[in-house]
Every structure is written in C-alpha cells, then in structure tokens.
C-alpha cells in the first residue's frame, strides 16, 4: 500500500497526527531530505509525537517511514495530478477534452484504489468468505446498488446463501456472532 494514500485515508488520526500527515503528503517530493528536526519545527510537534506517528503508521522509526515515502513518492505524485475529481471538465470543454478528462479520472481512481489494497488482508477476507456459511451485506442507501451488484456476482459463482439488508450505520456497533463473515460497505 502506498504510504501517502494510507495517511490520507486515516479518519482516526488525532489533530497532531493529521498535521504531521498533511505536512508529509505536501512534501512528498522532499522525502529523501526530511529529518526529525525539520518535521518537528514545521509541524510544531514534539519528538515523542513524531515517533508515535511513525509507530501508528506501522514503522519502527522515522528513517523507515521516510525510506518508504521516498519509494512511494513517484507513484503518489503521478496519481495526485491536478485533475479535480469532483468537476473533471467544464461546460466550455469540447468533446475530446471531456473524454480525455473522464479517462484520466477513471485511470487515477483505479490506481489510487489499487494503492490502498493490502494483498494479505484481501486474501484473509476471501478465505473468510469461502468458509462462511452465510454472508451478510450491510450498506447505506447510496451504496445499495453496489451491494446488490456484489450479491448478483456471488450468485454467478453459486454463492447464493446470504442476505442483503439495507442497514443505516449509526454510532452504535452491532455484532452478529452467529455468522463468520460480515461485509460492511459505508
């Protein structure tokens, strides 16, 4: 997984961790030349906070985080081009520009999704689904078509023994112990 994509998609970071992550993302091109003192000074954080951040990201220290950032920087800058995903084209654009913008939008979406996939986790999820006697799919209203599409795809490979429910996700957590595999799509 690309470390920049991982940092950008973490909703559970503290304010300090968000500050460090944002600084590192904005300075991806300088990953090889960054050091602890520079990051601490620019982000107004302590050494302990910086090393807790590294640990939270799954690295043994700052050097290993910076090495991974350096390895991922080229892919990240390529994927985080200037295309506005919300409005990839304007009313004044000609058909050729619109088609080109849509192609770039889809390509970048695929690359960014691919950078977030952790193969080990995906393998574990697939194994759990194969073993499950029943698969429940919980979704919100906006994701119901995706859940239904997944259900139809499972039916094509004879995995038909599961329920698809519309489930509104609130703050409370619900656990169904009688089932071995639950997919939550929010």
From first to last of its 186 residues, the chain has per-residue pLDDT tens of: 678 878 887 778 899 999 999 999 888 888 778 999 999 999 999 999 999 999 998 899 999 999 888 888 777 666 555 556 667 778 888 888 888 888 877 877 777 777 677 788 888 888 887 777 777 777 666 777 877 787 777 778 776 655 444 343 333 334 444 444 555 554
Beta bridge partners of 135: 162, 181
Predicted confidence at residue 169, as pLDDT, reads 37
Cβ-proximal residues to 80 (8 Å cutoff; 6+ apart), any chain: 4
Predicted confidence at residue 3, as pLDDT, reads 84
Q: Judge contact between 25 and 7, C-beta under 8 A.
A: yes
Beta bridge partners of 43: none
What does each C-alpha distance from 7 to 17, 18, 56 come to in angstroms? Answer: 9, 8, 10
Cβ neighbours of 133 (radius 10 Å): 10
Predicted confidence at residue 143, as pLDDT, reads 72
Query: 3-state class of 8 per DSSP?
Result: helix
What does each C-alpha distance from 20 to 38, 40, 94, 110 come to in angstroms? Answer: 11, 9, 41, 27
Place of tokens 């957590």: 173
Predicted confidence at residue 108, as pLDDT, reads 73
């Amino acid at each position: 997984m690309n470390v920049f994509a991982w940092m950008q998609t973490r909703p559970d970071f503290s304010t300090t961790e968000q500050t460090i992550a944002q600084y590192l993302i904005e300075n991806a091109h300088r990953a090889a030349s960054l050091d602890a003192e520079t990051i601490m000074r620019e982000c107004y954080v302590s050494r302990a906070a910086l090393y807790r951040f590294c640990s939270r990201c799954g690295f043994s220290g700052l050097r290993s985080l910076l090495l991974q950032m350096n390895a991922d920087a080229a892919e990240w800058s390529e994927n985080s081009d200037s295309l506005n995903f919300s409005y990839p084209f304007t009313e004044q654009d000609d058909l050729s520009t619109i088609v080109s913008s849509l192609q770039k939008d889809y390509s970048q979406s695929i690359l960014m999704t691919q950078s977030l996939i952790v193969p080990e986790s995906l393998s574990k999820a697939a194994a759990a689904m194969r073993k499950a006697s029943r698969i429940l799919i919980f979704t919100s209203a906006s994701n119901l078509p995706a859940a239904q599409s997944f259900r139809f795809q499972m039916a094509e490979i004879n995995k038909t023994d599961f329920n698809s429910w519309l489930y509104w996700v609130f703050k409370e957590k619900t656990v169904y112990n009688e089932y071995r595999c639950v997919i939550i799509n929010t």
